[in-house]
Structure 1
Amino acid sequence: MAIYSRLVEHRVNDALSDTRVVLIVGPRQSGKTTLAKKTAKAVTATARKSAVLFYNTLRHGMEYSDPGASHYEENYRRRVLTNLERRAKSFGYTLQPAPTSG
Protein backbone atom coordinates (compact mmCIF):
# COMPACT_ATOMS: atom_id res chain seq x y z
CA MET A 1 0.00 0.00 0.00
CA ALA A 2 1.47 3.32 -1.08
CA ILE A 3 1.46 6.34 1.21
CA TYR A 4 1.05 9.54 -0.77
CA SER A 5 2.59 12.81 0.30
CA ARG A 6 -0.16 15.21 1.30
CA LEU A 7 -0.14 18.97 0.96
CA VAL A 8 -1.26 19.31 4.57
CA GLU A 9 2.00 17.74 5.84
CA HIS A 10 3.82 21.04 5.37
CA ARG A 11 1.13 22.89 7.28
CA VAL A 12 1.34 20.43 10.17
CA ASN A 13 5.13 20.73 10.30
CA ASP A 14 4.93 24.54 10.20
CA ALA A 15 2.33 24.53 12.97
CA LEU A 16 4.50 22.24 15.10
CA SER A 17 7.40 24.64 14.78
CA ASP A 18 5.20 27.38 16.28
CA THR A 19 3.27 25.47 18.94
CA ARG A 20 3.52 22.21 20.88
CA VAL A 21 0.04 20.88 20.05
CA VAL A 22 -1.70 20.53 16.69
CA LEU A 23 -5.24 19.24 16.21
CA ILE A 24 -5.78 17.17 13.06
CA VAL A 25 -9.45 16.86 12.10
CA GLY A 26 -11.17 15.51 9.01
CA PRO A 27 -13.61 12.96 7.67
CA ARG A 28 -13.28 9.24 8.27
CA GLN A 29 -10.63 7.36 6.29
CA SER A 30 -8.80 10.52 5.24
CA GLY A 31 -5.38 9.62 6.68
CA LYS A 32 -5.40 11.57 9.95
CA THR A 33 -3.75 8.80 11.97
CA THR A 34 -1.17 8.06 9.26
CA LEU A 35 -0.27 11.74 9.07
CA ALA A 36 0.08 11.97 12.85
CA LYS A 37 2.27 8.84 13.03
CA LYS A 38 4.46 9.99 10.14
CA THR A 39 4.94 13.40 11.75
CA ALA A 40 5.64 11.85 15.15
CA LYS A 41 8.38 9.63 13.68
CA ALA A 42 10.10 12.63 12.10
CA VAL A 43 9.92 14.65 15.32
CA THR A 44 11.19 11.70 17.37
CA ALA A 45 14.11 11.10 14.99
CA THR A 46 15.13 14.74 15.08
CA ALA A 47 14.85 14.89 18.86
CA ARG A 48 16.94 11.74 19.24
CA LYS A 49 19.67 13.06 16.96
CA SER A 50 19.82 16.30 18.95
CA ALA A 51 19.91 14.40 22.25
CA VAL A 52 22.77 12.14 21.09
CA LEU A 53 24.80 15.16 19.92
CA PHE A 54 24.18 16.93 23.23
CA TYR A 55 25.07 13.82 25.27
CA ASN A 56 28.31 13.20 23.38
CA THR A 57 29.29 16.82 23.82
CA LEU A 58 28.79 16.67 27.58
CA ARG A 59 30.04 13.15 28.21
CA HIS A 60 33.15 13.14 26.05
CA GLY A 61 33.90 16.85 25.90
CA MET A 62 33.48 16.78 22.14
CA GLU A 63 32.97 19.95 20.17
CA TYR A 64 30.10 19.98 17.73
CA SER A 65 31.03 20.85 14.18
CA ASP A 66 28.20 21.39 11.74
CA PRO A 67 28.95 19.43 8.56
CA GLY A 68 27.00 21.97 6.54
CA ALA A 69 24.27 21.68 3.96
CA SER A 70 26.62 20.45 1.23
CA HIS A 71 27.43 17.38 3.33
CA TYR A 72 23.75 16.46 3.64
CA GLU A 73 23.10 17.21 -0.04
CA GLU A 74 26.00 14.96 -1.07
CA ASN A 75 24.69 12.14 1.14
CA TYR A 76 21.22 12.57 -0.36
CA ARG A 77 22.63 12.53 -3.91
CA ARG A 78 24.62 9.39 -3.17
CA ARG A 79 21.56 7.68 -1.64
CA VAL A 80 19.38 8.56 -4.65
CA LEU A 81 22.03 7.31 -7.05
CA THR A 82 22.41 4.03 -5.15
CA ASN A 83 18.64 3.51 -5.23
CA LEU A 84 18.51 4.25 -8.97
CA GLU A 85 21.32 1.80 -9.64
CA ARG A 86 19.53 -0.86 -7.60
CA ARG A 87 16.25 -0.29 -9.46
CA ALA A 88 17.98 -0.33 -12.85
CA LYS A 89 19.70 -3.58 -11.92
CA SER A 90 16.36 -5.13 -10.93
CA PHE A 91 15.12 -4.36 -14.47
CA GLY A 92 18.30 -5.73 -16.07
CA TYR A 93 19.93 -2.40 -16.87
CA THR A 94 23.18 -0.78 -15.89
CA LEU A 95 23.53 2.94 -15.26
CA GLN A 96 26.45 4.79 -16.79
CA PRO A 97 27.45 8.41 -16.25
CA ALA A 98 26.57 10.76 -19.09
CA PRO A 99 29.57 11.97 -21.10
CA THR A 100 30.60 15.47 -20.14
CA SER A 101 30.71 17.96 -22.97
CA GLY A 102 33.70 20.22 -23.17
Structure 2
Amino acid sequence: LEEMAPADEGAAWNYWLGASDAAAEGVWVWTDGSVSDFTHWRTAPTPQPDNHGGGEDCLTLAGHPSVVPRVAWNDLGCSSDAVSGWFCKFEPVGDADGDSISDACDVE
Protein backbone atom coordinates (compact mmCIF):
# COMPACT_ATOMS: atom_id res chain seq x y z
CA LEU A 1 0.00 0.00 0.00
CA GLU A 2 2.79 2.41 0.81
CA GLU A 3 4.14 2.09 -2.74
CA MET A 4 0.71 2.91 -4.16
CA ALA A 5 0.19 6.05 -2.05
CA PRO A 6 0.77 9.42 -3.75
CA ALA A 7 4.26 10.91 -3.65
CA ASP A 8 2.75 13.93 -1.87
CA GLU A 9 2.53 12.58 1.69
CA GLY A 10 -0.21 15.09 2.50
CA ALA A 11 -2.49 13.88 -0.28
CA ALA A 12 -5.50 11.60 0.08
CA TRP A 13 -5.91 8.51 -2.12
CA ASN A 14 -8.60 5.94 -2.97
CA TYR A 15 -8.49 2.54 -4.67
CA TRP A 16 -11.54 0.53 -5.74
CA LEU A 17 -12.04 -2.68 -3.74
CA GLY A 18 -14.80 -4.34 -5.77
CA ALA A 19 -17.90 -4.14 -3.59
CA SER A 20 -21.10 -2.16 -4.04
CA ASP A 21 -24.37 -1.46 -2.26
CA ALA A 22 -26.10 -0.23 -5.45
CA ALA A 23 -28.71 -3.03 -5.36
CA ALA A 24 -29.69 -2.44 -1.71
CA GLU A 25 -28.39 0.51 0.30
CA GLY A 26 -26.18 -0.67 3.17
CA VAL A 27 -25.84 -4.25 1.88
CA TRP A 28 -22.30 -4.49 0.50
CA VAL A 29 -21.84 -7.23 -2.09
CA TRP A 30 -18.49 -8.16 -3.66
CA THR A 31 -18.19 -8.55 -7.44
CA ASP A 32 -18.18 -12.35 -7.02
CA GLY A 33 -21.62 -12.09 -5.35
CA SER A 34 -20.42 -12.82 -1.82
CA VAL A 35 -21.27 -10.79 1.27
CA SER A 36 -18.81 -10.48 4.15
CA ASP A 37 -19.31 -9.65 7.82
CA PHE A 38 -15.88 -7.97 7.91
CA THR A 39 -15.77 -4.18 7.66
CA HIS A 40 -13.12 -1.51 8.20
CA TRP A 41 -15.00 1.75 7.69
CA ARG A 42 -13.40 5.13 8.35
CA THR A 43 -14.65 6.54 11.66
CA ALA A 44 -13.47 10.17 11.49
CA PRO A 45 -13.85 12.95 10.61
CA THR A 46 -17.10 11.71 9.01
CA PRO A 47 -18.12 8.13 9.86
CA GLN A 48 -18.45 5.94 6.76
CA PRO A 49 -20.33 4.73 4.86
CA ASP A 50 -22.30 7.95 4.61
CA ASN A 51 -23.78 7.72 1.07
CA HIS A 52 -22.99 11.44 0.74
CA GLY A 53 -25.33 13.03 -1.77
CA GLY A 54 -27.24 9.78 -2.21
CA GLY A 55 -24.97 8.22 -4.81
CA GLU A 56 -21.99 6.64 -3.05
CA ASP A 57 -22.47 2.98 -3.90
CA CYS A 58 -18.90 1.72 -4.47
CA LEU A 59 -16.29 0.68 -1.92
CA THR A 60 -12.78 2.13 -1.83
CA LEU A 61 -9.75 1.71 0.35
CA ALA A 62 -8.96 5.29 1.30
CA GLY A 63 -5.85 6.78 2.80
CA HIS A 64 -5.22 10.18 4.29
CA PRO A 65 -2.40 11.24 6.64
CA SER A 66 -4.56 13.40 8.91
CA VAL A 67 -7.56 11.15 9.64
CA VAL A 68 -7.99 8.11 11.86
CA PRO A 69 -7.59 5.38 10.94
CA ARG A 70 -5.07 6.49 8.31
CA VAL A 71 -6.19 3.71 5.91
CA ALA A 72 -9.81 2.54 5.97
CA TRP A 73 -12.87 1.85 3.84
CA ASN A 74 -14.87 4.67 2.27
CA ASP A 75 -17.91 4.78 0.00
CA LEU A 76 -17.71 6.86 -3.17
CA GLY A 77 -19.73 7.34 -6.32
CA CYS A 78 -18.92 4.56 -8.78
CA SER A 79 -17.69 7.02 -11.42
CA SER A 80 -15.64 9.19 -9.02
CA ASP A 81 -12.49 10.84 -10.36
CA ALA A 82 -10.97 10.61 -6.87
CA VAL A 83 -9.92 6.98 -7.45
CA SER A 84 -6.33 6.15 -8.46
CA GLY A 85 -6.72 2.46 -9.29
CA TRP A 86 -8.05 -0.82 -7.92
CA PHE A 87 -7.19 -4.00 -6.05
CA CYS A 88 -8.13 -7.37 -7.53
CA LYS A 89 -8.61 -10.79 -5.97
CA PHE A 90 -7.72 -13.80 -8.08
CA GLU A 91 -6.95 -17.47 -7.66
CA PRO A 92 -3.35 -18.67 -7.98
CA VAL A 93 -2.49 -19.86 -11.48
CA GLY A 94 -0.53 -23.07 -11.99
CA ASP A 95 -0.54 -24.76 -8.57
CA ALA A 96 0.35 -28.36 -9.41
CA ASP A 97 0.97 -29.44 -5.80
CA GLY A 98 -2.16 -27.75 -4.39
CA ASP A 99 -0.36 -25.71 -1.72
CA SER A 100 -1.96 -22.37 -2.82
CA ILE A 101 1.43 -21.08 -3.95
CA SER A 102 1.83 -20.40 -7.66
CA ASP A 103 4.25 -22.80 -9.33
CA ALA A 104 6.22 -19.73 -10.47
CA CYS A 105 6.92 -18.90 -6.79
CA ASP A 106 7.11 -22.43 -5.38
CA VAL A 107 10.43 -23.71 -4.06
CA GLU A 108 11.01 -27.42 -4.48
TM-score band, normalised by shorter chain: under 0.3
**Bigger strand fraction:** 2
* Greater radius of gyration (CA): 1
The TM-score with structure 1 as length reference comes to 0.24
